[in-house]
Amino acid sequence: MNALHNASRRSALTAGITVATAALTAGASAEAAPKKTQPARSPLDRAESGFVTTKDGVQIYYKDWGPKTAQPIVFHHGWPLSADDWDAQMMFFLLKGYRVIAHDRRGHGRSTQTHTGNEMDTYAADVAALTEYLDLKNAFHVGHSTGGGEVVHYVARAKPGRVAKAVLIGAVPPIMLKTPANPGGLPMEVFDGFRAALVANRAQFFRDIPSGPFFGFNRPGAKVSQGLIDNWWRQGMMGGVKAHYDCIKAFSETDFTEDLKAINVPVLIMHGDDDQIVPIADSAQLAIKLVKKGTLKVYPGLPHGMATTHPDIINADLLAFFQA
């Protein structure tokens, strides 16, 4: 029995050595073989979603759909949302043959939850990094609310050939805050209240806004969509609370007056006259006086989130502006 046992052990050891030797030989052969290098990818081959890394190491998430040779449309979302807020516009223009791009602002959505750089200069620099990475030329830039501020801050500084036209939807420029130079603005107490509610219970605050003034669901006879409320909450809670906190200052206190004056491309300003978040009298009706090539279109009874509640109206007017 001992002899048989020893023979069995010798056989097992021999088999193990043989397998190990074969594996080492195969590995050595693989090491010796020249490695295949991946061919350089052109901008036209880039993924349809991904991240671009900014100079300060922040990762900005983006979607990039449609033919890479088609004219691009870049969508800039409002606070505290994400690129997903443009679903209705992304699909509409994708099916019209455009190249559609939307990104999550730093600290929002799937982008890095930054604790610094949450202000307009950096937001615009992030957009510049994205447009350069994707090599976007002759693009239409569309911004909603805070995203409208981001658009004018970027477009005023963009390299020649990057931008064809700009659109501001329910946008914050020229400046939301009440100041001696802007007596019709909202008092600081309003934005301090935003900050306090955000810190106290962000999850509840992000229910209250879409359930009420954002979509106009607090108006008599409003057709309330729980799906829109839930999707707003979902997008908001994806972002970082510190970035959201800082962004309140960015959208309320940044003065975009000189940016608006500096823009040389056609600008379409779209605003609902029942916008309870960014009142039209101290935004669109002032901004139109500052741009060189501007058109103001007012939507009776429509709310701040009208691109989501009434996409058929907004998309048709966007298309007409792009094609004009």
Which residues is 72 bridged to in the sheet? 99
- CA-nearest of 119, 145, 148 to 246 is 119
CA 324/CA 317 separation, integer angstroms: 11
CB 153 within 8 A of CB 124: yes
CA 148/CA 172 separation, integer angstroms: 6
Is 304 a known active-site residue? yes
Among the listed residues 82, 275, 282, 283, the single catalytic one is 275
Among the listed residues 145, 153, 252, 283, the single catalytic one is 145
Q: What Rg, from alpha-carbon coordinates, does the chain have?
A: 26
In this structure, what DSSP letter does residue 200 have?
H
Is 145 a known active-site residue? yes
CA 95/CA 66 separation, integer angstroms: 9
C-alpha count within 13 angstroms, C-beta hemisphere, residue 199 = 9
What does residue 295 show for φ and ψ, rounded to 5 degrees? -130, 130
The set of catalytic residues is 145, 275, 304
